[in-house]
Amino acid sequence: MTDNISGKTLFILSLLFLFTACGLKKQTAGAQDIPKKARQHFKKGYDAYNYGNYDEAILSFQSALKKHPQYVDALDGLATTYKEKGEASKAIHTYRRLLDVDAKHFYAISALGELYYEQRNFDSSRYFYKAILNTFGREGKQASNAQRRLDNIDFAEWALKNPVNISPTNLGEMINSDKEEYSPMLTIDEQRLYLTYRDGTLHPSRQNEDI
């Protein structure tokens, strides 16, 4: 009886080892599918992007894709760089190329929802935010953000159909500047307004903030 159990145990362990080995072999083969030159171009593009050298990053990502057209990371890097440069149509086209390769790429789906929202293409934006909920589930931070975006779309559509007459007042170049401004606060006597603005000359992850 003991020998029989030991034999079954060894058989099961052998199967587990075989499956694990096959999985590792498959992963290694997948990594080897990307040519070395493509990985080198991607690394240059990644470094250039992080330093805000977007034109150089684009050229490097494009070179990587010439070596390997379905290189997911290079497609993601190229699309994201276009997005940061404000070239929305190119970003959308590249993110869609990425989804052709990886249909469940979360950041591509999320970015398309955001880009279409900024273009007021609410039907397309809604489609991609719903795709997040349908693909990744309705629990957690990602789902919460997607649902909030869907709520924003509903409100935006309602607001456009029900405009309100307002007369905004420009408070001067120190406040209404070309910088990204947010978190306004009035002093107790309501005589002074403080706000935070970002200096957009650096990469988004390393921007300067000032009051």
Sign of CA dihedral 79, 83, 89, 90: negative
pTM score, two decimals?
Answer: 0.68
Mean pLDDT highest for which of 119-128, 131-140, 181-190? 119-128
Contact by Cβ (8 Å): 57, 81: yes
Residue-wise pLDDT for 141-200, tens only, equals 999 999 999 999 999 999 999 988 888 887 777 777 767 777 888 889 888 888 787 766
Instruction: Write down the pLDDT at residue 10.
Output: 47
CB 98 within 8 A of CB 105: yes
Least Cα distance to 90 among 75, 103, 102 occurs for 75
DSSP 57: H
User: Side-chain half-sphere of 84: how many Cα atoms within 13 Å?
Assistant: 22
Provide the edge-to-edge strand list for the sheet that holds 208-210. Answer: 180-186, 193-199, 208-210
pLDDT digits (tens, 9 = 90+) for 50-94: 999 999 999 999 999 999 999 999 999 999 999 999 999 999 999
**Whole-angstrom distance, CA of residue 7 vs CA of residue 131:** 48
Report the percent of the chain where pLDDT is more than 70: 77
Of residues 180, 203, 179, the one with CA closest to residue 56: 203
Specify the pLDDT at position 205. 57
